[in-house]
Amino acid sequence: MNFKVARANGKSKEDQISQLEMEAIPRSLKLSDTAAEMIRAEIVGGRLLPGSRVTISAIAKILGISNTPVREALIRLAEVGLAEFDESSIRIIGETDETLHEAFELRAQLEAMTARLAAIKRSPAEAKALLELASASRKAAQDGDQTTFRKLDMKFHGSVAALAGNSFLEKYACNAYDLATTLRNVRKLSQQFQADAAYMHVQLAEAILAQNGELAETIGRKHVETVFEQMTKFAKSQDSLGVNSGVKVSKNA
């Protein structure tokens, strides 16, 4: 599935989708669930940028389904915080200093909790598999392989959340990850790929393997805080050079 989004011309407050290219949903699947996952992937993957608008009728037409399941899917995405919903469309949440800070603050706290519980509840086999995944993500970062790293990063954090053994916490932690990632997408367009905090994946996986819940909690929280700090540091350096990074950064960030 691929959304093509018209960029803002500087005069409009919102982007409009110029074209949508998506595979039709198989009829055997629950339409609203599948539509929600497909649209969510486009948002988190950065193919629908913060501030862009998606109409119900456009998506329904491309998917070959009625407006009702699409509306249900978009309402669900709005509840996650990824979009603002009205009767005919959604607008992907726009990035501000406040939303970016709050999204990462939420993600840091939830991932600290999942890391601590994962260290307590994981099986030896699960812990070893997580360490292998962490090592693979670090290697992708070191190799500068952005596409592979993004996939492994999402898989790693999702795996930690799953190992926590709490379905509610897993759901909210994954939602927080998606929200923070979505808000980062504007910044990614203006930054060279960097994943300097990827080494902390290995540190976290080792703490979970050692069943050290306190250490895992500390690393889980610090990892997210470090990612946020690196982003804001880059934006501030760009501002000092007179370069428009596409994102405003709070002086208190």
Question: What pLDDT digit, counting tens, does each position of 232-245 carry?
Answer: 876 565 545 444 44
Residues 211 and 128 in one domain: yes
For position 64, which CATH number holds? Answer: 1.10.10.10
Q: Which element (helix H / strand E) includes 15?
A: strand 15-21
Task: Give a yes or no: residue 183 inside a domain.
Answer: yes
pLDDT tens for each residue of 8-62: 334 343 444 444 444 544 444 578 888 888 888 888 887 777 888 888 888 888 7
Question: What is the per-residue pLDDT for 187?
Answer: 59
User: Is the residue at 188 inside a domain?
Assistant: yes
Task: Annotate 148-163 with b (16+ C-beta within 10 A) or e (fewer).
Answer: ebbebbbebbbbbbbb
Question: Strands across the sheet with 89-92, in order?
Answer: 2-5, 15-21, 52-55, 89-92, 83-85
On whether both 102 and 52 belong to a single domain, the answer is no
Say yes or no: 108 and 23 in one domain.
Answer: no
Nearest to 176 by CA among 97, 249, 102: 102
Give the pLDDT band of residue 121 (cuts 50, 70, 90).
very high
Same domain, 82 and 103: no
Domain-ending residue, one of 32, 61, 92: 92
How far apart (Å, rounded) are the C-alpha atoms in residues 157 and 167? 14
Whether residue 125 sits in one domain with residue 82: no
pLDDT tens digits for range 183-232? 877 655 555 666 788 999 999 999 999 999 999 999 999 999 999 998 88
Please report which helix (H) or strand (E) contains residue 127, including its range. helix 124-143
Predicted pLDDT of residue 75: 86
| Number of folded domains that form the chain | 2
Confidence of residue 80 (pLDDT cuts 50, 70, 90): confident
Q: Are residues 172 and 64 in the same domain?
A: no
Pick the last residue of a domain from 70, 92, 114: 92
Please name which of 183, 185, 176 lies closest in space to residue 221, comparing C-alpha atoms: 176
Of 61, 92, 123, the residue that ends a domain is 92
Specify whether the CB–CB gap between 83 and 95 falls below 8 A. Answer: no
User: At 64, which amino acid appears?
Assistant: G
Overall size of the chain counted in residues: 253
The pTM assigned to this predicted structure is 0.75
Do residues 232 and 135 share a domain?
A: yes
Q: Which domain holds residue 222?
A: 97-240
